[in-house]
Structure 1
Amino acid sequence: MRRNDRPLIFWVLAAFFSTYVLFLYGPMLVIVVLSFQGPQGGLTFPMRGLSLHWFRELAEGLGVVDIGAALKRSLGLGLLVMALTIVFSVMAGLAFRKKLRFSSLLFFTVVASLIMPSIIVSLGIGLEFRLLDSGIKKVLELLSMQGVLDTYGTALGIYTSALGAHLTWTLPFGLLIMFAIFNRFNPAYEEAARDLGATPWQTFRHVVMPLIAPAVVGIGMFGFTLSWDEIARTSQAIGDVNTLPLELQGLTTTVTTPSIYALGTVTMVVSFLVMGLAVGLFKLLAKRRQIKPKA
């Protein structure tokens, strides 16, 4: 069929798809472009000059907000969430291959957090840790540990309550991915390894893990990216510090220069770097699986 012979529905769907892509990526493109304005630039078009001025302004700080510290907090939390999501998802995927009592109840309990409003999850976790604070303080009073009580702050924090809030968001995705992988996994590979005398750990390390490695990379990417830009589940559960997305949300009401766009560009670059690394690693692992040993 020649190009001129394409039916009308093709052009309608092509126009719809193009509009969808523009709607999806247009705002990101606008932010990136406006972040490279000159010193006289504003928040809207037309652009005034072309420079890295607002990135230098961002490096120097935005008022009282320590962007560098917020960036480090977000990176640290995202990497920890990624690691824990991988470990727990793989362990849960292996466990669900066996017949477990109440496995359906456990599965729906984990996945239920996906349909709960994020802000409600955040409020609930924040309330739990405030109740925990009250209990800890009561115990310290009963033990007459006044010195510890005077210095005790709160159990709320980036690696306690915020970490738990993020895991309620990332673990269901990781678990669903592992279910999909193990549903297609051929147990004959494990049986062959056991017949050759491999221990359960050797079977997992040398047989199972190489086969599921691309999926594990995908779980890691999901874990990091979902944590990296999470706001609602973090807002009420992080305590007295902020992650980069929360700082960015707060700055939208106070910063009126393109430096806010520069910050948005930096966060997007980090996200794309993580996704690019994950895709590259996925392709490398897939390529290694296709290489056949020489006879």
Structure 2
Amino acid sequence: VPNWELNERNTVVVFGDFGNRGAPGEADAVYPAKLEIVDDGTPLRFLGPDGEESGVGLTWEGQGATGYGTGSQLVGAKLNHVGDATAGEGGAPVFERALLPNDDFALYGGGDFRLRMLTSGGFTPTGITGLTPDAYEHHFRVHATAEDGSTVLLSESGVDYRVAGGTLRVLGLADLGQPLGDGVVYDDCYAEDVDNQIDIILEGDDAAARSITHVEVPSSGDYLPLYNPGGPGPEPFPGVRYSEPSPYDLEPVVIALDDPLRVSNAP
């Protein structure tokens, strides 16, 4: 469920018969081409910095969205301070028992910075198996700027990288499943929340964090692609159409260290 946690409600979930396994260009392919929020008497509303706002009139239109034409990709990335606690964790007790705690404090004792990625669909290694917290260097790279203006690639976790303003270290991924130990193993049976939010947890200097520019999903070479549900799994069958792998992606990171750019309806 992509938005069962309270801090993931920027993802809107709609159920319906919106597509099939057809690929773009095929005569029988069905997939979304336009999304518009209309006034049906009880229209969708959003919480913004000035309170509730109607979503009526918001429209997306493109070449079509189908996992059988292109894989999931990043649609946003934002860097915040970790702070004293992760706000908005949980929200559905039936899932909490199996999947929580899965935040930066449970996995790494906190860290200094949380780089949250928002995806257009599922981001799993095969479309079936879960993404594990130690898989950062198999799928992602954070870009930062060096003192001389060149680009520094944070390609490994647990390594100190010298960038403009100091050093940065990637601790790993979070907002997936529970930490290693007490019966939890990082293997093909690892249970994670398969939602549209994945966190990269970092520690280092505040000035250094401000040098971060992009998060990259290479999806080729030494880096493995990611799949929406419906992917090939660890042992695909020949002649079966599976969801497509993630394409190369380079997403700008919004630096939200002074203003967290976050809203809440908590009293």
Query: Shared fold by TM > 0.5?
Result: no
Q: TM-score, normalised by structure 1?
A: 0.23
> Which structure: greater strand fraction?
2
> Which structure: greater helix fraction?
1
